[in-house]
Amino acid sequence: MIEDKRWRRLLVPGITAIVGAGGKTTVLERLGMYGHKGNLPILISSTVPVESAQVDNVEPFDVICTDNVEKGEKFCSSRIGEGRIPAWFFGIDGADRYIGLPLSIVSELKQHHPEWYILLEADETRNKWVKAPKAGQTAIPQNCDVLIGVLNLQMLGHALKAERVEGLETASAIMGRPEGAIVTPALLAKLVKHPQGMFRGADCRRILFCTGYNAVQHRMTEALLDELTDIGLTAIVLADGYKDTCAIRQYINYSE
């Protein structure tokens, strides 16, 4: 029950966009499931391409692929009314990925259904540990209510390499270190705090969701947290595990 409440605290009506790397889909699925357990009206979608296998077999997600807005909205309303979780995408691309909804449609859904909890995957990272978005790169609705930035703590103590970092050149520039440099807590904090980093300067509730907590020395995690005390975060979540085993170990509240 304690863990249920922790997950539940991440959920608010409106639009929640999940960005970053190292566990975005896991966070999306867990939020959907805990919201469903709490009988909340949940809608799953994305604003970026998503691997179809990541949502097809998740119970009780019901997927629809259509660019017919009236049909898609009607489907979502029906499924929510039946106690299910609709997952609406605009179609399928040539790589068998679901095409995300346009930002304008997401904003309209919020206006039409202010009681809905709209959960969006809003970053494309291809199984990397961290992401540094390019300048101007964003798939976040302007009327977003919550922005959850996912950060894999396992990056601490490892080198800046393309196999671990999406947007390596940007990350290197933000951290002020060349490719191959070892990532310290202070360097990783720069990526979280930078206006073009994790949260893109978004003006909404911002939550840092750290995965890999059990795989990193706690002194390094504590050093990272010390660097992030005054940047306007609502909360920091420390979690470990993957998919069904993902568990919150600490929920650090700053302001709600």
* Domains, the chain, with CATH or none: 2-253 (3.40.50)
Q: What is the DSSP letter of 90?
A: S
Least confident of 114-118, 161-165, 204-208, 227-231: 227-231
pTM of the model: 0.94
Q: Which residues contact 20 (CB under 8 A, 6 or more apart)?
A: 123, 125, 130, 131, 148, 149, 150, 151, 198, 209
- Take residue 45 and report the two structure tokens written for it: 């979608």
* pLDDT tens per residue, range 97-146: 899 999 999 999 999 999 999 999 998 877 889 998 776 666 788 899 99
Question: What are the C-alpha distances in Å from 245 to residues 32, 118, 148, 242?
Answer: 15, 23, 19, 5
Q: What is the DSSP letter of 115?
A: T
Q: E strands within 57-126? A: 61-65, 85-89, 91-92, 97-99, 117-121
| Measured distance CA(1)–CA(174) in Å, rounded | 40
